[in-house]
Amino acid sequence: MKTILYIIQKEFLQVFRNKSMLPIIFVVPIVQLVILVNAATFEMKHIRISVVDLDLSGTSRKLTSKFQGSPFYQVQSTSFSYREAEDEMKQGKVDMILQIPAGFEKRLVKESHAKVQFVVNAINGQTAGLVNAYSTMILFDYNRELVMENANPAQMAGLRNIQTDYSYWYNPKLNYKTYMVPGILVLLITIIGLLLSGMNIVREKEIGTIEQINVTPIKKIQFIAGKLIPFWIIGLFELAFGLTVGKLLFNIPMEGSLGLIFMSASVYLFVILSFGLLISTITNTQQQAMLVSFFFMVVFILMSGLFTAIESMPEWAQNLDRLNPVMYFIKIMRMVLLKGSTFADISHHFWSLVIYAVVIISIAIRRYRKVA
Amino acid sequence: MTDPENIIIVKDLVKSFGSFTANDHLTFSVRRGEIFGFLGANGAGKTTTIKILCGLSYPTSGELSVAGFDIYTQREKVKRNIGYMSQRFSLYDDLTVFENIRFYGGIYGLSRKEIDARSKSLMERLGFENSRNKLIRDIPLGWKQKLAFSVAILHNPKIVFLDEPTGGVDPITRRQFWDMIYEAAHRGITVFVTTHYMDEAEYCDRVSIMVDGRIAAMDTPDNLKLQFGAPSMNDVFIKLARG
């Protein structure tokens, strides 16, 4: 035990003597939170549309004004040629074309049904889906208005009407910042944890001090504990710091128990640090360690559900994602912070992390050799 | 394999890396308290042997006993009784002189008191009193080497292995370094040292000369000079190395 303390003391001395460490611990989280949270948003505001109104009737103008009146849309241009509108889309000036054909009003009155066309730029499928859904909703709304206007009261009585009302749970204002902050915090401690732990042992290999340690009677487990504990403490501290910044800057909700967050974070950090340790046992230079870490980090983060919904991944990817520790912890953070989930709600994710931790540290310990 | 006279006993040590044999059936022993010079050209296999004796590397075959313990089955006991100073510099650059001593003392299980007492006397002996809180990266190479040696014997091992300890060091510091080796030997520590400098070979009680993974000669420096009819160890070495 005393031996471990000597290693921890040495690691802390080295970490804080390294001039780039303090900025990494204190400045990077703030910068990341402020930039990423504000930038990485899915909010759909200012969808630029081009209206091709070939009908020029009262009804078509009313439809156009429906779009204009919505906070999500911004009528970028109006023209009488579809070709012109299409050119604008190619140039990236508009996201959607609304085409109202000639005879729209006439047909609506005479035949009681008419058609309009939406053309949506679907380079980003997710955005396109949303744009489409919003547009359909506006059209549907307008449609209902028309029905009400034209129907006589006697008919109305017999018409059953289902009205849809929306209420968004857990994030009533649909504020993406509160959704992003917990995820970004996970990103943050993952990067710090994985890079610091992975690079640290490899650095000892590079400068040759690892040999000096390997000739001492120190036990493998003591060395590994001494190496991991300092970064574990720094990681937990980092999370506390990030949560404070998130509360102060973005006023993120903290519905659930912070104790539960830190309990899960303890296990999660253990997984990440063991992963770093494992990487350091299979690499010989800091450069190699960095590359391998980045490879895993990119895959883990892109598949973590931070930016894209896991539910919309293909099934094989979702199965593969069970090996992704980042995914579990992001889920836990969001569930506990936003929904106020209790241990019973997150227990599946929590135990998955525990199993993960046990497996990874066992492999890492086996791979770490005092004797070559 | 305890032997009252010999502290290191090596029988038929073989170490091969694929088809390359770095140590080809080495057999030798080192006596308690002597300064044993382990000489050889670059790539002759010296570092390989030292690493095996220190428990850093597995031998391919052979019987080895170090400090009375078997290298295969009592590795941790061997490690408790040896000190090692590698070719590569082994102190932490970003820690101070005292912090390095405290760290290595700590992982060898010395108590806080022992660490304080030993580091104090060590720094007095080296004349480092004023450099206690200097970072290692800020002190000259010669000092670093002397400090690395002192740290390697901080826990009073029975044997200390020195792998080219004086590489890149000026002649005066080299001389001082050898004074420290004598002092350690005087305290009863067996010294196993590899070197390129043939004048240093003259300071050893016995030397072995390795050529291409085999021991080509082993005796006292005086006997070797006599045997090869050479005026200095330098000439003995050149005669042997040229085959």
Instruction: List the pLDDT tens digit at each of the 372 positions of chain A.
Output: 788 999 999 999 998 888 887 888 778 888 888 888 777 666 667 788 899 988 888 888 888 888 888 878 888 888 888 888 888 888 888 889 998 888 888 888 888 778 888 888 888 777 788 888 888 888 888 888 887 777 666 565 555 566 666 666 766 666 677 888 899 899 989 988 898 888 888 988 888 888 889 999 888 889 999 999 999 999 999 999 999 999 998 888 898 999 999 999 999 999 999 999 999 989 989 999 999 999 999 999 999 988 878 888 888 988 889 999 999 999 999 999 988 999 999 999 999 999 999 999 999 998 887 776
Question: By C-alpha distance, which of A274, A337, A328, A334 is closest to A304?
Answer: A328
* Residues B102, B97: Cα–Cα separation, whole Å: 9
- List CB contacts (< 8 A) between B99 and chain A: 10, 13
pLDDT of residue B85: 92
**pLDDT over 70 (residue B98):** yes
Question: By C-alpha distance, which of B157, B168, B177 is closest to B80?
Answer: B157
Long-range contacts of A100-107 (CB under 8 A, 24+ apart): A100/A51, A100/A52, A100/A53, A100/A54, A100/A55, A100/A60, A100/A63, A100/A64, A101/A54, A101/A55, A102/A54, A102/A55, A103/A55, A104/A54, A104/A55, A104/A57, A104/A59, A104/A60, A105/A55, A105/A57, A105/A58, A105/A59, A105/A60, A106/A57
Structure tokens at A318: 């979702």
pLDDT of residue A177: 78
**pLDDT over 70 (residue B181):** yes
- List CB contacts (< 8 A) between A216 and chain B: 79, 104, 107-108
Looking at chain A, the domain(s) classified CATH 3.40.1710.10 span 47-158
Contact A77, A50 (CB under 8 A): yes
Question: By C-alpha distance, which of A257, A260, A265, A272 is closest to A340?
Answer: A257
Q: Does A136 touch chain B (CB under 8 A)?
A: no
Contact B18, B33 (CB under 8 A): no
- List CB contacts (< 8 A) between A10 and chain B: 92, 95, 99, 103
The amino acid present at A90, given as its one-letter code, is: K
* Residues A177, B61: Cα–Cα separation, whole Å: 64
Q: What is the CATH number of domain B6-241?
A: 3.40.50.300
Q: Is B145 left (phi over 0), alpha (psi -120 to 50) or beta?
A: alpha
Q: Note whether A13 contacts B99, CB cutoff 8 Å.
A: yes
Counting Cβ atoms within 10 Å, is residue A179 exposed (0-12), middle (13-18) or buried (19+)? Answer: buried
C-alpha pair distances (Å), B134 with each of A146, A203, B80, B96: 85, 22, 29, 5
Stretch (H or E) spanning A151: none
CA A264 to chain B, closest CA, distance in angstroms equals: 32
The residue of chain A nearest to residue B86, with distances taken between CA atoms, is A212
pLDDT of residue B60: 93
Q: Outline where B5-69 has alpha helix (H).
A: 46-53
For residue B4, what is the DSSP state? Answer: S
Number of residues that this document lists for chain A: 372
User: ∠A255-A256-A257 over CA atoms, to 5°?
Assistant: 135
- Tokens 């304080």 belong to which residue? B116
Structure tokens at A294: 């980045």
pLDDT of residue A159: 56
Give residue A327's Cα distance to chain centre. Answer: 10
CB neighbours of residue B222 within 10 Å: 10
Q: Note whether B94 contacts A217, CB cutoff 8 Å.
A: no
Q: Is B62 left (phi over 0), alpha (psi -120 to 50) or beta?
A: left
- At A184, give phi and psi (nearest 5°): -65, -35
- List CB contacts (< 8 A) between A372 and chain B: 51, 56-58
pLDDT of residue A151: 67
Counting Cβ atoms within 10 Å, is residue B121 exposed (0-12), middle (13-18) or buried (19+)? Answer: exposed
CA B91 to chain A, closest CA, distance in angstroms equals: 7
CB neighbours of residue A66 within 10 Å: 15
Q: Outline where chain B has alpha helix (H).
A: 46-53, 75-80, 97-107, 112-126, 141-152, 171-186, 198-201, 221-228, 233-241
CB neighbours of residue B151 within 10 Å: 24
CA A14 to chain B, closest CA, distance in angstroms equals: 6
Residue-wise pLDDT tens digits, B143-170: 888 999 999 999 999 999 999 888 888 8
Counting Cβ atoms within 10 Å, is residue A142 exposed (0-12), middle (13-18) or buried (19+)? Answer: middle
Q: Does B75 touch chain A (CB under 8 A)?
A: yes
* Residues B118, B109: Cα–Cα separation, whole Å: 13
User: ∠B186-B189-B193 over CA atoms, to 5°?
Assistant: 105
Burial A255-293 (b: 16+ CB within 10 A, else e): ebeeebbeebbebbbbbbbbbbbbbbbebeebeebbebb
Q: Note whether B56 contacts A371, CB cutoff 8 Å.
A: yes
* From B75, B79, B109, residue closest to A3, measured CB to CB: B109
Mean per-residue pLDDT, B47-61: 91
Helix (H, G, I), strand (E, B) or coil at B178: helix
pLDDT of residue A152: 63
Strands (E), chain A: 47-53, 73-79, 96-100, 117-120
Q: Does B228 touch chain A (CB under 8 A)?
A: no
* Residues B101, B90: Cα–Cα separation, whole Å: 12
CA A6 to chain B, closest CA, distance in angstroms equals: 6
Q: Note whether A9 contacts B79, CB cutoff 8 Å.
A: no
Q: CB pairs below 8 Å between A and B: how many? A: 79
Structure tokens at B57: 């590397």
Task: Please report, for chain B, the start and end positions of each structural domain, with discontinuous segments joined by +.
Answer: 6-241
The CATH T-level fold of domain A47-158 is: abc type-2 transporter like fold (3.40.1710)
Identify the bridge partners of residue B215 per DSSP, sorted by sequence position.
Answer: B210
Q: Note whether A208 contacts B89, CB cutoff 8 Å.
A: yes
C-alpha pair distances (Å), B8 with each of B34, B159, B164: 11, 9, 19
* From A207, A208, A215, residue closest to B79, measured CB to CB: A215
User: ∠A139-A142-A146 over CA atoms, to 5°?
Assistant: 135
* From B76, B86, B102, residue closest to A217, measured CB to CB: B76
Mean per-residue pLDDT, B94-103: 94
- Count how many Cα atoms sit within 13 Å of the Cα of residue A177 in the half-sphere of its side chain: 17
Q: Percent of chain B beyond pLDDT 90?
A: 59
Q: Note whether B86 contacts A208, CB cutoff 8 Å.
A: yes
Counting Cβ atoms within 10 Å, is residue A225 exposed (0-12), middle (13-18) or buried (19+)? Answer: middle
Q: What is the ipTM of this complex?
A: 0.87
CA A29 to chain B, closest CA, distance in angstroms equals: 26
Q: In what order do the strands lie in the sheet with A96-100?
A: A73-79, A47-53, A96-100, A117-120
- Tokens 């085409």 belong to which residue? A99
pLDDT of residue A226: 92
Contact A25, A192 (CB under 8 A): yes
Q: Does B141 touch chain A (CB under 8 A)?
A: no
Stretch (H or E) spanning B3: none
